[in-house]
Structure 1
Amino acid sequence: MRTLLGDTSYTWPAGPWVRATMVSTADGSAHGPDGLSGTINNATDKELFNRLRDTADVILVGGGTARAEGYGPVTTPIVVVAHGFPADLAWATVVSGEPRSIITGMYEDGYQHIHVEGGPHLLTDLLTAGVVDELCVTYTPALVGGSYGRITAGPDLSVGLTLASLAEDDGTLFARWLVNR
């Protein structure tokens, strides 16, 4: 058993960096029967998720995920990719546009460490645009069956990954993947 809070492998590198974080069950589902990723994570995943969120300059999340998961204000600034999400959110900045332009704009606004929290469509768009540097996936020791979505959704992808670290805590696996360019 290994605790991740003291693990330096999650330290942000110098300069601009996009880190996407997702959770999956052992059978590949990105959410539980209620359609929420929050129902498949556990205390250890939440601990790491909060650490990554707290050390980022900004959180980037898709409107569908923000709506479904009940997002609200936190200490780290949040940018919501609109796609039909209401633009009157006092606690978030709402953007729309091509993924590469969104990331470039965030860098220009001074955000160097961008933490992408989903959803699957946004992750696919960002991977397709070639702007994700790192993908962190928590694999929880659960099976949900059914035909639930995966951590990516949309058009086919062909993205290579290199394993940077793998840790385990009480049956939960934490994989850090670097995106091959």
Structure 2
Amino acid sequence: MHLLQRDGRPCAPLTVGTDQDGAATLADLYAFGPGVTVRAMMNTSIDGAVAGADGTSGSLRNPDDSFVFGVLRALADVVLVGAATVRTEDYRRPLGRSDLRAPSRRPAGGAHPVLAIMSRSGELPTTVEADWPTLLVTPSAGAAGAARRSGLPASHVIVADSPADIVAALSSRGLRGIQLEGGPSALGRFAAAGALDELCLSTSHVTVGGPSPRLVDGPPHARSWSLRSLLVGEHATCSRYSRRPDERS
């Protein structure tokens, strides 16, 4: 891949390999700053689809996208995702690249990210593994039933009614690097609420046609973003946007 923009400015093109040195370069590029950051990571096709012909984002994956995604997963304290996305995408052990795990680059210093699943019902997908650190994030209405159905201990249940409440609850546990991985409705809620700080977008160099949800599918809103970095590969273009300072809530 070729790095064409960093820190919000065009830079002399830098070739980034998919080896350990290239991964370290991207880890520095995408490193979480101080404080709490909510970063969304999503994949789309050139024609704006967030799912391929099989109805999953997995069919849009390619070597470039997978490389960047593996780096980002290795930086996050927590992967925050809706239950429907976990079911569709078959989430299992979201570790990230093995060569970035020791020493830990996560703000909280953990060996792997916590998996935080947003669900009203509390019925967690069967793909969730019992020994993986997992949190249920559920609204106050019906929280007791959701907690019971999840089978998780009370200490692993977060009751939160808004994106801001979710972020506050996760950060209170020391989880400052929050990676929101979907689906589109979750991104829509966070973006509209002003609770999304970064959008890391991988645009696969394919078209798929057909119906597909928008990348951000939620209440109408108008927010401005700055392009912080740009990577171009053979299979995908990976861009990182940050919310403009005057748009921060």
Report the TM range for the smaller structure's normalisation. over 0.9
Matching of residues 46-85 of structure 1 within 5 Å: 46-74=66-94, 75-84=112-121
- Structure with greater contact order relative to length (CA < 8 Å, sep ≥ 6): 1
Match of 1:134 in 2: 198
Give the alignment's TM-score, normalised by structure 2: 0.68
Aligned mate of 1:159, from 212, 216, 223:
223
CA distance in 2, matches of 1:19, 1:116: 6
Structure 1 gap ranges (5+): none
2:200, 2:35 → 1: CA distance?
19
1:12 equivalent in alignment to 2:32: yes
Partner of 1:86: 123
Identity of aligned residues (%): 31
| Residue matched to 2:54 | 34
In structure 1, distance between residues paired with 2:92 and 2:222:
33
Query: SS of 2:203's equivalent?
Result: strand
Shift of residue 18, structure 1, vs aligned partner: 0.9
Query: Given residue 87 of structure 2, which amino acid in structure 1 is its aligned partner?
Result: R
Q: Which residue of 1 aligns with 2:177?
A: 113
1:85, CA displacement in angstroms? 5.0
Q: Greater CA radius of gyration, 1 or 2?
A: 2
The offset of 1:87, in angstroms, is 4.4
Change (3 A) 1:87 1:66: closer
Contact in 2 for aligned 1:166/1:175 (Cα 8 Å): yes
Unpaired segments ≥5 residues, structure 2: 3-15, 17-21, 95-111, 139-160
Alignment check: 8 A CA contact 1:67 1:85 kept: no
Please give the secondary structure, in 1, of the residue aligned with 2:74. Answer: helix
1:43 matched to which residue of 2?
Answer: 63
Contact persistence 2:50–2:57 (CA under 8 A): yes
- Secondary structure (helix, strand or coil) at the match of 1:55 reads coil
Name segments (4+ residues, structure 1) moved above 3 Å. Answer: 87-91
**Deviations for 1:73-106, whole angstroms, at most 9, x for unmatched residues?**
3432100011335148533211123211011100
What amino acid is the match of 2:42?
M
Q: Report deviation, 1:154.
A: 2.7
SS of alignment partner, residue 95 of structure 1: strand
Q: Does 1:102 align with 2:166?
A: yes
Aligned residues: 181
Matched residue type, 2:46? A
Q: Is the 8 A contact 2:39 2:196 kept in 1?
A: yes
